[in-house]
Copies of this chain bind each other. A is one copy, B any other.
Amino acid sequence: MTEVEMPEAEDSQERPGITLARGVCRLLRSHGFAPLTEYVPVPGLRVDVMALGPKGEIWVVECKSCRADFTSDRKWAGYLDWCDRYFWAVDEAFPQDLLPEDTGLIMADAWGGEILRMPPEHRLAGARRSAVTRGFARAAALSLQRLREG
């Protein structure tokens, strides 16, 4: 009977990489994926973009605006356990050599993007896939509901 609690979205203007996230969402949609920003798969982890494919594929994309944004991120390896494929999204100025080779790479701006490197697939186990999909579904529906209610 308790009201569903959702973490409040942070001010998008203050978060680096948020304009990249917009382009990433458009790119993902053009690939048939349904994107959701700022999803929290487990307390303490907030992914920039999670996307659900037509066959239930789960991708995570972390958006990095600059070198410091990347080097200060100590959580990203934890995201690997919550997706089938993991990507970085960066802009043209980003020093790509910093990024681990066995991760995906998306070049993006605020308006769109392109997948430059497809990462290997590490498929989630069934139980976790179900839990992530369900959490994604509930988060998306509740955000939509909030937005419509104004």
Partner-B contacts on A (CB < 8 A): 1-4, 25, 29-36, 51-52, 54, 56, 130, 133-134, 136-145, 147-148
- The answer on a CB contact under 8 Å between A141 and B32 is no
A140 to chain B, nearest CB (A): 4
7 contacting pairs across A/B (C-beta < 8 A): A4-B34, A4-B54, A25-B145, A35-B141, A56-B134, A133-B137, A144-B144
CA distance A33 to B130 in the complex (A): 17
CA distance A60 to B9 in the complex (A): 29
Q: Which of A4, A54, A130 neighbours the largest number of chain B CB atoms within 10 Å of its CB?
A: A4
A118 to chain B, nearest CB (A): 13
Residues of B within 8 A of A35 (CB): 141, 145
Question: Contacting A137 at CB < 8 Å: which of B2, B137, B145, B148?
Answer: B137
Number of copies: 2
CA distance A133 to B47 in the complex (A): 21
Residues of B within 8 A of A138 (CB): 34, 52, 54
A33 to chain B, nearest CB (A): 8
CA distance A35 to B139 in the complex (A): 10
CA distance A32 to B51 in the complex (A): 24
A63 to chain B, nearest CB (A): 16
Residues of B within 8 A of A141 (CB): 34-36, 51-52, 136, 140
Given A3-B29, A29-B4, A30-B1, verify A144-B133 contact (CB < 8 Å).
Answer: no
